[in-house]
């Protein structure tokens, strides 16, 4: 009887992608895609996660559907997997929303709440009772008791309990979402409200069951290459901290996958720096109190959907992806452009930009290399046509954008950077406060990054932050200064 060692959800996702890519390379894509759940969980397999092999196959089927770029919510369960795979080959553009929930994998977590455990000693001090501002906790029969009708889940009672007898139960995906865009449906399973969702991907990172899933576009990209299209890759700076190879080796490896050419998105970041620095000077001269950056797609969605009062303070400058795609389309009007992304939010941004056709995350690219047996460390080096600046390549790290803009301004006006390192309820509250007052005492150039650590901490990265930062820093240090590069755009 076959027994497998347990794997993390990331490994499961990658294995499905690798098998899906290999299936595409065969003469019968539909049938081989259909067989993926059965190949991963054969009849005599001991299910390591769920009740039985049949449940695990059902989940793997949904992961395969997401790998095909389809919404689980909108896919008819009765449709044959082979037919779904074949229909994807005729798709002209990706589906609208980048995330989907695998309800087969969703655990249906119990609602978030604060509760008193058996460790409660009914102490004389009763700090829990005196701390609660809502009168939700009382001591009855020698034990603290919480009134769920009054409790606001603030957690103050848990913080002050000397015995740590009060626990807080959270729903990981709901707790991670900074805008309340994911909650239980009528069946107790997670569902995303896309009217609220800012595509930050925090729910996907937080779910320990891997139930929140990106809808992949990798089959679309491979299909365009197979059709003989001129497919051009655009690599965001964070990519150069993900894989054990040099940037020039990575370019060679990407071309080996069938891409016509590879552009560095830091080239577009230099354009963003030039435009944003000029805009900042103009705004300060006319008397504006502060300006926020605009290169983070998640932040831009936050402003558009939840904090419209920030719009007057948000830079009008476009993102590095925008300018890079614009450059590519000018040089190759017939190109199919593919952005290599560290986060979900770029998929949403790309849907609104006709110059960006597809987005692949780093997990998908790594799976592609694995499936094609590409040995990155053995690749020859290929130069990029345009050399980007160190400051542009450092956009991937929190503080990098503000530092680049400050460097470009070069003392023409006072720059006081303030960095928002990750969007959460507290940082969003602060941003709303700045917008309401029209000023910010802490700084006049506010860099907002949706992910902690910047793009290098994006939900679709594959390398832990510290080693990724070390590798990226080495790449940045070997680059020319912004003042020494020619900005193309």
Residue 439, in any domain of the structure: yes
Partners of 235 in the β-ladder: 264, 340
Residue 463, in any domain of the structure: yes
Domain with residue 151: its CATH number is 3.30.70.20
Q: Are 321 and 267 in contact (CB under 8 A)?
A: no
Q: Are residues 265 and 373 in the same domain?
A: yes
Q: Are residues 360 and 480 in the same domain?
A: yes
Residue 213, in any domain of the structure: no
Distance CA(170)–CA(109), nearest Å, equals: 8
Residue 334, in any domain of the structure: yes
Q: In angstroms, how far is CA 191 from the centroid of its own chain?
A: 18
Domain with residue 359: its CATH number is 3.40.950.10
Q: Are residues 248 and 372 in the same domain?
A: yes
Residue 53, in any domain of the structure: yes
Among the candidates 131, 147, 169, a domain finishes at: 169
Phi first, then psi: give them for residue 190, nearest 5 degrees. Answer: -65, 140
Tell me what pLDDT residue 8 has: 66
Among the candidates 169, 203, 233, a domain finishes at: 169
pLDDT by 10s per residue, the chain, length 489: 333 333 467 888 999 999 999 999 999 999 999 999 999 999 888 777 777 888 999 999 999 999 999 999 999 988 999 999 999 999 999 999 999 999 999 988 888 889 899 999 999 999 999 999 999 999 998 899 999 899 988 889 999 999 999 998 889 999 999 999 999 998 899 999 999 999 999 999 999 999 999 999 999 999 999 999 999 999 999 999 999 899 999 999 999 999 999 999 999 999 999 999 999 999 999 999 999 999 999 999 999 999 999 999 999 999 999 999 999 999 999 999 999 999 999 999 999 999 999 999 999 999 999 999 999 999 999 999 888 999 999 999 999 999 999 999 999 999 999 999 999 999 999 999 999 999 999 999 999 999 999 999 999 999 999 999 999 999 999 898 998 887 876
Residue 207, in any domain of the structure: no
Q: Are residues 300 and 246 in the same domain?
A: yes
Residue 409, in any domain of the structure: yes
Q: In angstroms, how far is CA 242 from the centroid of its own chain?
A: 14
Q: Are residues 385 and 335 in the same domain?
A: yes
Element (H, E) at 135: none
State the residue range of the domain holding 267. 222-484
Q: Are residues 349 and 381 in the same domain?
A: yes
Tell me what pLDDT residue 489 has: 62
Element (H, E) at 279: helix 266-285
- What residues contact residue 60 under an 8 Å CB cut-off, 6+ apart? 12, 16, 36, 37, 40, 41
Among the candidates 57, 91, 125, a domain finishes at: 91
What does the angle CA 322 – CA 326 – CA 329 come to, to the nearest 5 degrees? Answer: 140
Residue 209, in any domain of the structure: no
Domain count, the chain: 3
User: What pTM did the predictor assign?
Assistant: 0.91
Q: Are residues 421 and 355 in the same domain?
A: yes
- What residues contact residue 226 under an 8 Å CB cut-off, 6+ apart? 258
Q: Are residues 424 and 283 in the same domain?
A: yes
Q: Are residues 306 and 355 in the same domain?
A: yes
Q: Are residues 277 and 326 in the same domain?
A: yes
């Amino acid at each position: 009887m076959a027994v497998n060692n347990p794997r993390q959800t990331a490994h499961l996702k990658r294995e499905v992608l690798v098998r899906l890519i290999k299936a595409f390379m065969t003469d019968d894509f539909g049938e081989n895609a259909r067989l993926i759940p059965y190949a991963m969980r054969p009849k005599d397999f001991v299910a390591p996660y769920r009740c039985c092999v049949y449940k695990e196959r059902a989940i793997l089927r949904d992961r395969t559907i997401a790998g095909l770029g389809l919404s689980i919510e909108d896919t008819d369960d009765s449709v044959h997997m082979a037919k779904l795979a074949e229909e994807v080959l005729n798709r002209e553009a990706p589906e609208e929303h980048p995330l989907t929930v695998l309800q087969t994998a969703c655990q249906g977590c119990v609602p978030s709440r604060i509760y008193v455990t058996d460790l409660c000693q009914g102490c004389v001090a009763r700090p829990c009772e005196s701390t609660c501002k809502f009168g939700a906790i009382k001591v009855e029969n020698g034990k603290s008791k919480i009134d769920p009708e009054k409790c606001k889940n603030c957690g103050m009672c848990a913080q002050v309990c000397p015995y740590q007898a009060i626990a807080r139960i959270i729903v990981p995906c709901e707790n991670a979402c900074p805008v309340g865009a994911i909650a239980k449906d009528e069946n107790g399973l997670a569902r995303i409200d896309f009217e609220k969702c800012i595509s930050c991907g925090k729910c996907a990172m937080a779910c320990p069951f891997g139930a929140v899933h990106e809808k992949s576009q990798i089959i679309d990209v491979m299909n365009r290459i197979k059709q003989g299209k001129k497919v051009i890759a655009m690599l965001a700076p964070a990519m150069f901290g993900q894989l054990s190879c040099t940037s020039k080796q990575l370019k060679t490896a990407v071309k080996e996958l069938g891409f016509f050419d590879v552009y560095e998105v830091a080239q577009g970041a230099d354009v963003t720096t030039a435009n944003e620095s000029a805009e900042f000077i103009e705004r300060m001269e006319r008397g504006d109190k502060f300006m926020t950056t605009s290169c983070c797609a998640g932040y831009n969605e936050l402003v558009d959907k939840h904090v419209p009062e920030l719009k007057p303070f948000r830079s009008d400058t476009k993102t590095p992806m925008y300018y890079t795609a614009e450059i590519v389309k000018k040089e190759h009007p017939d190109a199919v452009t593919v952005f290599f992304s560290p986060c979900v939010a770029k998929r949403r941004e790309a849907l609104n930009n006709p110059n960006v056709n597809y987005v692949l995350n780093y997990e998908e690219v790594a799976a592609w290399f694995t499936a094609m047996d590409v040995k990155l460390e053995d690749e020859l080096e290929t130069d990029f046509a345009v050399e980007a600046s160190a400051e542009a390549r450092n956009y991937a790290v929190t503080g990098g954008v503000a530092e680049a803009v400050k460097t470009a301004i070069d003392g023409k006006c006072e720059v006081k950077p303030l960095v928002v390192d990750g969007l959460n309820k507290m940082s969003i509250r602060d941003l709303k406060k700045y917008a309401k007052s029209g000023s910010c005492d802490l700084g006049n150039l506010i860099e907002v990054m949706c992910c902690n650590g910047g793009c290098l901490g994006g939900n679709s990265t594959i390398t832990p932050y510290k080693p990724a930062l070390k590798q990226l820093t080495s790449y940045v240090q070997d680059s020319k200064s912004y003042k020494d590069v020619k900005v193309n755009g």
